[in-house]
Amino acid sequence: MNATPPTHLPLGALPIHALLDEVATRQRLDFGHMAAESKADGSLITACDRWSDATLVRGLGQLYPGEGVLSEEGEKRIPRSSAYWVVDPLDGTTNFAAGIPYWAISLARFEHGVPVLAILDVPPLRQRIVAVRGQGAWRNGNRLLAPTSQGPGIGCASLCSRSIGVLQRLPERRFPGKIRLLGVASLNLVSVAMGQTVAALEATPKIWDLAAAWLVLTELGCPLRWLLNNPASLRAGENQADTDFPVLTARDPETLEIFLPWAKALQEGG
């Protein structure tokens, strides 16, 4: 598969976009009508999560035969195929189930252990972010600029619910930003690349939470600091069900250094 950027090919022309359109439409229709239940790890799942996962996995298998799929609600082992997909069918299930209109569909295609094509669809906002390794990133077909080229940041920083405890671990230091908790790991991270926040700290993201955001951040020049495990070291056959990839990302290296003490507090807190 040639990862052609959407500036050279109309956004809807790639077959994968039709598949995403189908899933995004169903999610918008189901929003506000889904009961949630708890999974073994305490996170929530709905019938729409399951349908979305099955539809994406089946659709990718038809579009790209021979390329394995790792998905949050399905097979969680790194596929043994040379190219494979990492899927989070509905990132932000708690928001979705609670009637908060902010969630995402996350897809990333990996080659040689790193993402080469990433798509983040935000159904309630009708936004689709695409990144292609070495070629850049786009939102709804419009090229995105690095956050450093958009002028000074607005001073907001994203924390997840499991990382907010770092504020108590450094009581003598003022946190260098206004705090935002968006409730969607992939969008928490990619908010930095979009210029919506200056930094983001995630305590327990899984590979499906961060796969697409990782490439978007990389393509827009945002540094990442892996605090425990590095997803670049994934190996075929590994089970990712219980592996976390805590990470700090920021708009530029200088901002990363400013937030690093809180990342270290998270790392030392275990």
pLDDT > 70? residue 270: no
Please tell me which residue, 249 or 270, carries the higher pLDDT value: 249
Q: What is the pLDDT of residues 206-250, one digit of tens each?
A: 999 999 999 999 999 999 999 999 999 999 999 999 999 999 999
Question: What does the alpha-carbon distance between residue 120 and residue 20 come to, in Å, rounded to a whole number?
Answer: 10
Q: In what order do the strands lie in the sheet with 114-122?
A: 68-71, 83-91, 104-111, 114-122, 127-132, 136-139, 142-143
Structure confidence at residue 38 as a pLDDT band (50, 70, 90): confident
Nearest to 52 by CA among 77, 97, 22, 92: 22
| pLDDT tier, 164 (very low <50, low <70, confident <90, very high otherwise) | very high
Question: Residues with Cβ < 8 Å from 178, sequence gap 6 or more?
Answer: 155, 156, 157
Residue type, 252: D
pLDDT at 154: 78
Q: What is the mean pLDDT of residues 23-27?
A: 96
Residue 192 has what pLDDT?
Answer: 97
Q: How confident is the model at residue 42 (pLDDT cuts 50, 70, 90)?
A: low
Start-end of CATH 3.40.190.80 domains in the chain: 147-269
Whole-number Cα distances in Å, 44 to 48, 78, 94, 194, 265: 11, 23, 6, 27, 28
Burial of 204 (0-12, 13-18, 19+ CB in 10 A): middle
pLDDT computed for residue 1 by the predictor? 43
- The fraction of the chain above a pLDDT of 90, given in percent, is 81
Q: Which fold has domain 147-269?
A: D-Maltodextrin-Binding Protein; domain 2 (3.40.190)
- 11-143, which class in CATH? alpha beta
DSSP assigned state of 45: E
Q: Where in the chain is the domain with CATH 3.30.540.10?
A: 11-143
Average pLDDT, the chain: 91
Q: 238 exposed, middle or buried (CB, 10 Å; 0-12, 13-18, 19+)?
A: middle
In this structure, is the dihedral angle defined by the CA atoms of residues 208, 32, 197 and 160, taken in order, positive or negative? Answer: negative
pTM greater than 0.85: yes
Q: Answer for the pair 184, 94: CB distance below 8 angstroms, yes or no.
A: no
